[in-house]
Structure 1
Amino acid sequence: SDVFDQVIRECGEHNAQFQALIRKMVEQNLDIETTRNEDHYGAAIHHLSLLRNKRCLMAYMYNRAETIRSFRWKIGPVLPHEIQEKLNFSEKEYFRSHSSAIKSYISEMDIDLTVVCIFPVSFIFWG
């Protein structure tokens, strides 16, 4: 959470610098589409930093979501306290929603997808 908040603050700083450089170019009546000066390149660096941070945060969030989804299959519908305390409110809600969707699908299809297969893989494919 602290690192996430730090990256969000950094994004705010990059955005403020980016906006200031663009404003400066506009105030100087420069065409921001074609002008290639130090302000243009500075704005480009801040923009690319924002994109990098966004990619990193999205990858982090995707990884967390994948981990939370895997908990349902590996642990079951109730998470141990030591895992729950490491999740934020949104992640707990995501787990509950994912569990509910699995439960609904299982009851609709009348098949328990959480049962561990005891047959060797070779038996399934080769009979």
Structure 2
Amino acid sequence: MFASRAVELIKDLQRSDTMPPFNEDGIRQVLDEMKALYEENHRDVNATVAGSADHFNAVHLRHSALERSKRCLLAYLFTRLKCLRDMRWDFGSILPSEIRFYLCEPEVICMLISVKLEVQWFQAYSKSLGMYMHSIGRQGLDLTQNLQPPKSLYIEVRCLEDYGEIETDDGDFLVLRKNSTHFLPRGQAEPLIRQGILEHIS
């Protein structure tokens, strides 16, 4: 069936709770099918111009399949970009390594969008968001903090890995060692919690 592989790409995204690895093989299969449909249409249109109108319905059907495949590819890529946008707010400007591994860097993604789309888009979005946050007020405002209204300004956290020394907002220095517990300002602890360095002890 025409465009079935393109529809399968969308279904794969819907089945996954997190962003799955970029399906480069699936994209290439869809592009190969689109190229074959285009070439068949080109051949039939030339035959129609030469005097035979028998191919009109086939051309129309293949053109509809091409449009459907194109919409599915764009929906697939757009959905992944929305997921990356949400991750920027959750994890900050540095994505966890397991997420970065899933980003695409193929030579060609599709006819409309090319080289390193997801990586470049995330970097550009992160830069724009960072510039906007720095432009708010005199010292800037980190909009990624306190996405939920805080119940208290300080929280107790446990360190999940050896991280090293940090300076707190009040000028003290703390050494974050694995399994150590600390009482930190919520705004300073939340980015480290999102990165998996700390866990909130409720």
* Structure 1 outlier segments of 4+, above 3 Å: none
1:104 match: 131
Gaps of 5+ in 2: 1-23, 105-115, 152-202
2:14 match: none
Give the Cα–Cα distance (whole angstroms) in 2 for the partners of residues 24 and 71 of structure 1.
51
Superposition deviation, residue 106 in structure 1: 0.3
SS at match of 2:135: helix
Query: Which residue identity is paired with 1:58?
Result: L
**Aligned residue-pair number:** 113
The root-mean-square deviation of aligned C-alpha atoms, in Å, is 1.5
| Greater relative CO (CA pairs within 8 A, separation 6+) | 1
| Structure with higher strand content | 2
| Matching of residue 24 in structure 1 with residue 64 in structure 2 | no
| Structure with higher helix content | 1
Counterparts of residues 28-43 of structure 1 (less than 5 Å): 28=51, 37-43=53-59
Superposition deviation, residue 76 in structure 1: 1.1
1:9 match: 32
2:89 match: 73
SS at match of 1:46: helix
Asked if 1 retains the 8 angstrom alpha-carbon contact of 2:45 and 2:55, the reply is yes
Could you tell me the TM-score, scaled by structure 1's length? 0.83
Among all aligned residue pairs of Structure 1 and Structure 2, give the percentage whose two residues are the same amino acid: 27
Could you tell me the TM-score, scaled by structure 2's length? 0.53
Superposition deviation, residue 119 in structure 1: 5.0
2:63 match: 47
Gaps of 5+ in 1: 31-36, 121-127
